Amino acid sequence: MLKKIFIYLLWGAVACYLVFAFIIVPNIPDNGQCKGVLITVANDDNGNLTDENIMELLGNEGLDPQKRKLEDIDCHKIETFLDGITLVKECQVYKSTTGRVNIDIECRIPIMKVHEDGGNSYYIDSEGDTIVDIHKALHLPIASGHITKEMRKNQLKDIACAIYNNGFWRAQIEQVYFNNLGEIVMVPRVGSHIIEFGTVDNASEKLDKLYTFYSKGLNSMGWEKYEKLNIEFNDKVISTKKNK
pLDDT along the chain (244 residues), means of 10: 48 50 47 88 91 94 93 95 96 93 96 89 94 88 92 94 95 95 93 92 91 79 81 81 74
Q: For residue 140, what pLDDT is reported?
A: 93
Q: With a threshold of 0.75, does the pTM exceed it? A: yes
Cα atoms in the Cβ-side hemisphere of radius 13 Å centred on 28 = 6
Q: For residue 199, what pLDDT is reported?
A: 94
Q: For residue 233, what pLDDT is reported?
A: 82
Q: Are 112 and 141 in contact (CB under 8 A)?
A: yes
Q: For residue 240, what pLDDT is reported?
A: 82
> Left, alpha or beta for 27 (phi > 0: left; psi -120 to 50: alpha)?
alpha
Q: For residue 106, what pLDDT is reported?
A: 96
Q: For residue 31, what pLDDT is reported?
A: 58
Cα–Cα distances in Å, from 209 out to 172, 180, 214, 231? 15, 25, 9, 8
Burial of 41 from C-beta contacts in 10 A (0-12 / 13-18 / 19+): buried
Quick one: how far is CA 86 from the chain centroid?
A: 10
Element (H, E) at 142: strand 142-145
Q: For residue 244, what pLDDT is reported?
A: 63
CB atoms within 10 A of CB 139: 10
